[in-house]
Structure 1
Amino acid sequence: MTLEADRVSRTADGRLILDGVSLGLRPGAVTGLLGPNGSGKSTLLRLLAGVLAPASGVVTLDGDPLHGLHRRDVARRVAVVEQQADTLVELTVADVVRLGRIPHRRAWAPAAPGEEKAVQAALERTGLADRAGQPWRTLSGGERQRVQIARALAQEPRELLLDEPTNHLDIQHQLDLLELVAELPVTCLVALHDLNLAAMYCDHVVLLDRGRLVAQGTPWEVLTEGRIADVYGVRAVVGDPDANGRPHIRVVGIGARR
């Protein structure tokens, strides 16, 4: 068992943001969370992380309601990578990655002997070992996102939630980042805008529209031409599979949302 949402809803300023959404993450798989702007992707991620509470429905971790678990215990299991991160404090790359160890440390307690080993392993996993002493603020956008993933891995989570981590990155850094995510030994849920990136790297995709679950399944099952037209308001051609058997999506014009 892992992280699940059962008919969760959420309102803000009297407006329904999520409407009875259910999903369960598949252990060890990469699940893509898709939908237009305003479809509720970020809200759903925050509910799954325990940052927000649902107005109705329940989020569970290994079958236990998330709201009944200690926040520190959740943080030891579930790590979150936001769209962007910044700090006014002068930190090195290693300092940022060490922040991932906070859930494993008692208040005011010194670092345990094994903590630096976890930090070093996260740096090596993300290809940042040679940047450990470099100031965070000197990094490019793609490098900063990689550091945030290293910080999340230093938590030693079993579930990793990423909120549009490829935003503002060039194509090469988008591919590098998702290659890294796809190879991680954790259960991942990643919110994405680009349908082709989702088709290339996700084992399972979940499609939201206007706060409701439209479909979930493999990229082939979910990303059909009719469904793309309905949800995104564009005409698309879902082409023959690529070398890895994944669909390729080509947008050919603007349509009308139903």
Structure 2
Amino acid sequence: MSGAGLRADRVGRRADGRLILDGVVLAPETGSTVGVLGPNGSGKSTLLRLLAGLLTPTAGVVTLDGTPLGDLPRRTVARRLAVVEQQADTQVELTVADVVRLGRVPHRRAWTAGSADDERAVREALGRTGLADRAEQPWHTLSGGERQRVQIARALAQEPRELLLDEPTNHLDIHHQLDLLALVTGLPVTTVVALHDLNLAAMYCDELVVLSAGRVVAGGAPGDVLTEELIAEVYGVRAAVSREGPEQRPHVRFLGTLG
């Protein structure tokens, strides 16, 4: 598959003889936010890891500007793609600024000190994520929501063009969920984010892709994808879907399980 940006062309993944993903196509518009939805075990995290080059597809190909990820130097990929996984932890005594500086590693030669450009990128990432006043605070003293924000700052310090996030709102309270997604979707990058919450996905994503048992069962604008029929089919629950706000985004109200 040719074309600018990050693309997945009919990618599949098998592990231990089991088919985890099958024929997934993903081609985000530059600068858009694509939400990946689906129940546990549907393949969301595997797809994110394939897009990041952390796993290799057993079928199909993931490309960056038309070149297969596997044909590109790891450092080249790391300069373009930033990944925020579900939870990050460290036993090392690091400050917030130290963690964010890790995002500059792909831009430096081994064993060299950070440059003025590196420090500028770190300062900008801290400022954009509202962490400038926390720069010297020890990482281990932060709350879960603050740690997620630091991980996004680390990703921004990479100065990526594509940002991949695996369920970044897990374990956050509602305020921090909204805050974090508003931050992410306001960034000038192409974003692919795996989410559990259908209403958050409807509020913040330009496009949705729904996985079920490793296959794409729906894709498109939130209003076209989040129907009562699809929610029943994929999640096994009854729901009422209404339209709210000036953009008439879908809002899902759950009514109970099927059967």
Q: With structure 1 as the length reference, what TM-score do the two structures score?
A: 0.98
1:236 matched to 2:239? The reply is: yes
CA shift for structure 1 position 244: 3.5
Equivalent in the alignment of 2:95: 92
1:224 matched to 2:227? The reply is: yes
1:155 matched to 2:158? The reply is: yes
1:79 matched to 2:85? The reply is: no
Equivalent in the alignment of 2:185: 182
Of 18, 22, 25, the residue aligned with 1:19 is 22
Of 28, 45, 48, the residue aligned with 1:45 is 48
Matched-pair contact (CA < 8 Å) for 1:240–1:247: yes
Matched-pair contact (CA < 8 Å) for 1:242–1:248: no
Matched-pair contact (CA < 8 Å) for 1:38–1:210: yes
- C-alpha distance in structure 2 between counterparts of 1:220 and 1:205, whole Å: 9
Q: With structure 2 as the length reference, what TM-score do the two structures score?
A: 0.97
Equivalent in the alignment of 1:141: 144
1:194 matched to 2:204? The reply is: no
> What is the alpha-carbon root mean square deviation over aligned residues?
0.8
Matched-pair contact (CA < 8 Å) for 1:235–1:253: yes
- C-alpha distance in structure 2 between counterparts of 1:46 and 1:9, whole Å: 12
- SS of corresponding position for 1:114: helix
Of 117, 121, 139, the residue aligned with 2:120 is 117
- SS of corresponding position for 1:59: strand
* Identical-pair percentage: 72
Equivalent in the alignment of 1:103: 106
Aligned residue pair count: 256
List per-residue Cα deviations over 1:124-164 (Å, max 9, x = no partner).
Answer: 00000000000000000000000000000000000000000
Matched-pair contact (CA < 8 Å) for 1:229–1:255: yes
Alignment of 1:164-179 (within 5 A): 164-179=167-182
Equivalent in the alignment of 1:207: 210
- C-alpha distance in structure 2 between counterparts of 1:193 and 1:63, whole Å: 30
Structure 1 unaligned regions, length at least 5: none
**Which residue identity is paired with 1:19?**
D
Equivalent in the alignment of 1:255: 258
- C-alpha distance in structure 2 between counterparts of 1:73 and 1:216, whole Å: 30
Structure 2 unaligned regions, length at least 5: none
